[in-house]
């Protein structure tokens, strides 16, 4: 496994060389502090850049280029990791060995990403107004579309209530009013500023050796202006003061219950592996207490699960239930957590959870997308550890560590999406 | 076992047909920690009516999916828990024409593989466990009822097909599953879970001969009589109804425009039809087409727009779907652009480029263990070999695509399905 290296000031590359796949992957990520002032602009920027470059001035010419590169994919990528927002591009492409005459597809992709980043279509010294206005409409539509999937919508609403006084309440894509206010001039000025003032993380997985990747990335980013970097980090609230309940009505047939907890621990803390195990025992897998009790024993739902937001120190429980079962489902969900706090975890439950997590990490090493996300997360958290290190740490966690992790968790917010007449 | 090699794809598989009729394929993936085993049954939600031993049988909608849930019952407990003990992640799905059970793991493959075989070899559910599952599946159905993506296509199929059972949702309805008993499930198991009606695929760094030996030893030998499936009376390709709308809690209208098309019975022709259909969609409305660019620039579609061919046992269509404030304008633009293309002649250079692009993406699909297994089994049940796709691409001509578009993209064949936002009070 290769080390993360600085290829330009504030620009880091992690290149994982592997010949297991027929697909190579590359992502270029600009790290920004998550905040209302720039959230929408960061989300809009890559979509505007992907509309055209000087050499490929419209979507059709870009698509033709990607077709010729054996159906390579280039897309925008906006991520939210705690209170860090990243914007950038993701590319996946065929490895040279599978091309008809051994073309260097990776070099062509790097060159195209260079165009996207530094050679946008401009008019009067700023972005094309047509591109900006058209992508604003698309972004507003994407933001509005969060209600379409009721399961994730309930979680988003819960988190927004829970963190309303924190930057974390800002959506990954920003908010509608901010998007509507953006002008082509604003966006261009923002673009010039964030190019210079952002830490950049580049991740590569594929056949090429690190030296060659570093050389290509160096060429790709040679035009990158550099200035003092804006800090991007996450403020942690270790525990909830009091638990609050909130509900919303919508014309749906199934209720969606979502509970938000403060875990008192993030991936940067030594107790994090114990928290991961606690989550797996509690609601992170099909053998978990939530699945086994809320679904299998009580037949209350099709899904009941918990997940962690490791940068912000949150745990989220989510379940789809009959409206009338709100109280019984909620109390069962909390009772199972209470059992964990009291150490009522069998060695079988713990070992299954441990095996599950270790296997998931090993499997992730066989998936380029998972590796990309893992190593970006590590870079944002300022961590060096590899997946293998995480596996070792999970092996050392004791039952008491897991119960202690459960005791650090506090309930912050309960949200229920219910029917119009429920 | 025999080996089938596809040097151009950098792939191969080992194959054996067991005495009991089960076909096994093993795709070696050296260097991967992950191992993946997949058993597919040629039985899906559409197989509700059939003739068995001369008698006509009609089973409740949703029975294949219900059975999938209950196959996780074992003689001594639950397969999910046993997989968990072995560190495996199991799952299953039911589609219109297939039921599949699979797991992936990194260690203790043998133990997990035996759990998969035990699961599929014999049903162990009881009347009580079947009844208990009904509320869980009921909640799953409620979840789909609130899902606009599911509804969009279910509505499209229900409008497009008069008799073909693809018009019924895969999981059935809360009412139809009320009729399902342990006996129903047992009968369906006996009818469809015969080894000759299944396929096993294993992908990973495993020993092929060992897989065959383990399977031979565990899977029952008897061969049940084959059911004769009934998908209803033959239908014309013209659709009676051309539009279907439903209001849901969505932010903007979602649409799917389907054109019904003729599909071959199976074999190499069915693979060819799929690829011709996909290429026709790309040429007409793919990202590098003039139509896509023009619709996108007018904000009539966004980057979620997609187009492609779908086929389920005799029910075939191409569909164009996405989000739009004016789905009717998208429909009109597709018809007009196809007319223009047919009149002015199709672009040979664009066709060659799209073939190269589609082939590249197909080759990259071979990185996905899931995709390999699903395609391998789907193609096998259709009577064609998955690895034939490069040669099928080669033999497809621009004329094939032109003829397909001319025959298919017509108003008589069209259904527009729309999920529109509820009126705000």
Chain A residues within 8 A of B302 when measuring between CB atoms: 138, 141-142
By Cβ distance, the residue of B106, B135, B137 closest to A359 is B106
Decide if pLDDT at B225 tops 80. Answer: no
Q: How many CB pairs under 8 A join A and B?
A: 175
Decide if pLDDT at B425 tops 60. Answer: no
Is B154 a catalytic site residue? no
What percent of chain B has a predicted confidence (pLDDT) above 70? 99
Between positions 57 and 76 of B, the ones with CB within 8 A of A are none
Q: How many other C-beta atoms can be found within 10 angstroms of the C-beta atom of residue A391?
A: 17
Tokens of A183: 């002008």
Chain B residues within 8 A of A299 when measuring between CB atoms: 132-136
Task: Judge whether A160 is closer than 8 Å to chain B, CB to CB.
Answer: no
- Reported as a single tens digit per residue, the pLDDT across A77-133 is 999 999 999 999 999 999 999 998 889 999 999 999 999 999 999 999 999 999 999
**Closest by Cα among A240, A290, A255 to A411:** A240
ipTM field: 0.92
- Reported as a single tens digit per residue, the pLDDT across B233-265 is 999 999 999 999 999 999 999 999 999 999 998
| Contact predicate A27/A90, CB 8 Å | yes
Tokens of A217: 């990335």
Q: Are residues B90 and B10 in the same domain?
A: yes
Q: Are residues B161 and B210 in the same domain?
A: yes
Chain A residues within 8 A of B288 when measuring between CB atoms: 60, 63-64, 66-67
Question: Residue B10 and residue A22: Cβ atoms within 8 Å?
Answer: yes
Q: Are residues B200 and B294 in the same domain?
A: no
Burial class of B230 by CB neighbour count within 10 A (0 to 12, 13 to 18, 19+): middle
B186 belongs to a structural domain: yes
Prediction pTM value: 0.94
Domain count, chain B: 2
Look at residues B171, B196, B229 and tell me which one is the last residue of a structural domain.
B229
Residue B270's CATH number: 3.30.830.10
Q: Are residues B70 and B96 in the same domain?
A: yes
Task: Judge whether A165 is closer than 8 Å to chain B, CB to CB.
Answer: no
Task: Judge whether A70 is closer than 8 Å to chain B, CB to CB.
Answer: yes
B350 belongs to a structural domain: yes
The answer for residues whose C-beta is within 8 angstroms of residue A242's C-beta and 6 or more apart is none
Q: Are residues B266 and B159 in the same domain?
A: no
Q: Are residues B48 and B176 in the same domain?
A: yes
DSSP helix/strand/coil, A246: strand
Q: Are residues B251 and B313 in the same domain?
A: yes
The answer for residues whose C-beta is within 8 angstroms of residue B179's C-beta and 6 or more apart is B60
Q: Are residues B187 and B211 in the same domain?
A: yes
Residue B420 is inside which H or E element, if any?
strand B414-421
Q: Are residues B8 and B67 in the same domain?
A: yes
Task: Judge whether A129 is closer than 8 Å to chain B, CB to CB.
Answer: no
Query: B121-156 burial string, b = 16+ CB within 10 Å, else e?
Result: bebbbeeeebebbbbbbbbbbbbbbbbbebbbbbbb
Q: Are residues B314 and B385 in the same domain?
A: yes
B355 belongs to a structural domain: yes
B235 belongs to a structural domain: no
What percent of chain A has a predicted confidence (pLDDT) above 90? 92
| Contact predicate B96/B200, CB 8 Å | no
- Among the listed residues B11, B15, B19, B68, the single catalytic one is B68
Q: At what angle do helices B268-285 and B290-297 cross, to 10 degrees?
A: 50
- Reported as a single tens digit per residue, the pLDDT across B56-107 is 999 999 999 999 999 999 999 999 989 988 989 999 999 999 999 999 999 9
Look at residues B199, B229, B259 and tell me which one is the last residue of a structural domain.
B229
For chain A, domains (ranges, CATH) are: 5-220 (3.30.830.10), 244-418 (3.30.830.10)
- Reported as a single tens digit per residue, the pLDDT across A5-42 is 999 999 999 999 999 999 999 999 999 999 999 999 99
Look at residues B207, B229, B251 and tell me which one is the last residue of a structural domain.
B229
By Cβ distance, the residue of A64, A144, A299 closest to B132 is A299
Q: Which domain holds residue B411?
A: 243-421
- How large is the average pLDDT for residues A68-78? 97
Mean per-residue pLDDT of chain B: 95
Question: Residue B299 and residue A137: Cβ atoms within 8 Å?
Answer: yes
- Reported as a single tens digit per residue, the pLDDT across B130-184 is 999 999 999 999 999 999 999 999 999 999 999 999 999 999 999 999 999 999 9
- Reported as a single tens digit per residue, the pLDDT across B356-389 is 999 999 999 999 999 999 999 999 999 999 999 9
B234 belongs to a structural domain: no
Decide if pLDDT at A367 tops 90. Answer: no
Q: Are residues B45 and B20 in the same domain?
A: yes
Alpha carbon separation from A130 to A89, A122, A134 (Å, rounded): 21, 11, 6
- Reported as a single tens digit per residue, the pLDDT across A40-58 is 999 999 999 999 999 999 9
By Cβ distance, the residue of B84, B148, B250 closest to A352 is B84
Decide if pLDDT at B267 tops 50. Answer: yes
């Amino acid at each position: 496994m290769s080390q993360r290296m600085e290829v330009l000031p504030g620009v880091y590359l992690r290149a994982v060389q592997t010949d297991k796949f027929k697909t190579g992957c590359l992502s270029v990520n600009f790290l920004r502090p998550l905040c209302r002032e720039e959230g929408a602009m960061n989300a809009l920027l890559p979509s505007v850049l992907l509309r055209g470059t000087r050499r490929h001035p419209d979507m059709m010419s870009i698509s033709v280029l990607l077709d010729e590169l054996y159906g390579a994919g280039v897309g925008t990528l906006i991520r939210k990791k705690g209170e860090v927002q990243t914007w950038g591009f993701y590319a996946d492409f065929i490895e040279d060995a599978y091309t008809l005459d051994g073309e260097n597809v990776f070099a062509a992709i790097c060159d195209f990403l260079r165009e996207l980043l530094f050679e946008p279509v401009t008019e009067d010294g700023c972005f094309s107004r047509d591109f900006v206005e058209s992508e604003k409409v698309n972004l507003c539509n994407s933001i509005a579309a969060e209600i379409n999937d009721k399961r994730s919508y309930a979680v988003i609403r819960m988190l927004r209530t829970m963190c309303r006084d924190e930057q974390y309440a800002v959506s990954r894509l920003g908010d509608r009013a901010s998007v509507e206010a953006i002008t082509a001039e604003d966006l261009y000025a923002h673009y010039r500023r964030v190019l210079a003032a952002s830490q950049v993380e580049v991740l590569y997985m594929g056949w090429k050796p690190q030296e060659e990747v570093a050389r290509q990335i160096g060429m790709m980013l040679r035009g990158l202006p550099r200035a003092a970097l804006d800090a991007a980090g996450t403020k942690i609230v270790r525990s909830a003061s009091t638990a609050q309940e909130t509900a919303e009505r919508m014309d749906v047939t199934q209720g969606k219950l979502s509970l938000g907890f403060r875990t008192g621990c993030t991936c940067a803390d030594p107790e994090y592996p114990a928290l991961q195990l606690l989550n797996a025992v509690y609601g992170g897998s099909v053998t978990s207490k939530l699945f086994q009790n809320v679904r299998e024993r009580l037949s209350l739902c099709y899904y009941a699960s918990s997940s962690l937001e490791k940068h912000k120190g949150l745990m989220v429980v989510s379940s789809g239930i009959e409206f009338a079962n709100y109280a019984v489902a909620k109390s069962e969900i909390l009772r199972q957590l209470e059992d964990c706090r009291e150490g009522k975890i069998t060695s079988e439950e713990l070992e299954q959870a441990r095996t599950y997590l270790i296997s998931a990490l090993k499997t992730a090493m066989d998936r380029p997308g998972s590796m990309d996300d893992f190593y970006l997360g590590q870079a944002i958290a300022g961590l060096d550890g590899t997946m293998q290190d995480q596996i070792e740490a999970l092996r050392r966690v004791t039952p008491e560590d897991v119960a202690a992790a459960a005791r650090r968790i506090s309930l912050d917010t309960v949200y229920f999406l219910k029917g119009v007449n429920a | 076992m025999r080996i089938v090699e596809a040097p151009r794809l950098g792939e191969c598989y080992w194959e054996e047909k067991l005495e009991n009729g089960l076909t096994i394929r093993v795709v070696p993936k050296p260097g991967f920690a992950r191992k993946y085993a997949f058993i597919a049954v040629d039985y899906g939600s559409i197989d509700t009516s059939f003739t068995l031993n001369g008698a006509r049988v009609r089973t409740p909608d949703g029975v294949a999916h219900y059975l999938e849930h209950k196959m996780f019952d074992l003689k001594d407990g639950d397969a999910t828990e046993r997989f968990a003990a072995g560190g495996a992640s199991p799952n299953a799905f039911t589609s219109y024409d297939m039921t599949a059970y699979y797991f992936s793991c990194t260690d203790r493959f043998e133990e997990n593989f035996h759990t998969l075989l035990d699961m599929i070899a014999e049903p162990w559910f009881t009347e009580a466990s079947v009844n208990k599952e009904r509320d869980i599946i009921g909640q799953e159905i409620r979840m789909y009822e609130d899902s606009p993506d599911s509804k969009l296509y279910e509505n499209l199929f229900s409008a497009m097909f008069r008799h073909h059972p693809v018009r019924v949702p895969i999981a059935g309805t809360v009412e139809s599953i009320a009729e399902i008993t342990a006996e129903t499930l047992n009968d369906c198991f006996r009818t469809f879970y015969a080894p000759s009606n299944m396929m096993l695929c294993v992908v990973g760094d495993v020993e092929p001969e060992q897989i065959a030996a383990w399977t031979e030893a565990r899977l029952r030998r008897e061969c049940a009589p084959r059911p004769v499936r009934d998908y209803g009376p033959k239908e014309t390709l013209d659709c009676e109804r051309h539009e279907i709308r439903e209001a849901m809690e969505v932010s903007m209208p979602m649409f799917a425009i389907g054109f019904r098309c003729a599909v071959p019975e199976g074999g190499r022709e069915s693979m060819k039809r799929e690829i011709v259909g996909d290429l026709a969609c790309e040429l007409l409305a793919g990202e590098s087409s003039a139509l896509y660019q023009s619709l996108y620039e007018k904000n009539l579609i966004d980057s979620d727009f997609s187009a492609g061919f779908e086929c389920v046992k005799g029910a075939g269509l191409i569909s164009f779907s996405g989000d739009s404030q004016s789905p009717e304008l998208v429909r009109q633009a597709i018809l007009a652009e196809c007319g223009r293309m047919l009149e002015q002649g199709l672009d040979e250079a664009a066709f060659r480029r799209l073939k190269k692009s589609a082939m590249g993406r197909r080759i990259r699909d071979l990185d996905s263990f899931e995709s390999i297994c699903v395609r391998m089994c789907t193609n096998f049940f259709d009577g064609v070999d998955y690895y034939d796709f490069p040669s099928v691409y080669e033999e497809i001509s621009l004329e094939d695509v032109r003829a397909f578009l001319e025959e298919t993209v017509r108003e008589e064949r069209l259904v527009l399905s729309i999920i529109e936002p509820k009126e705000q009070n």
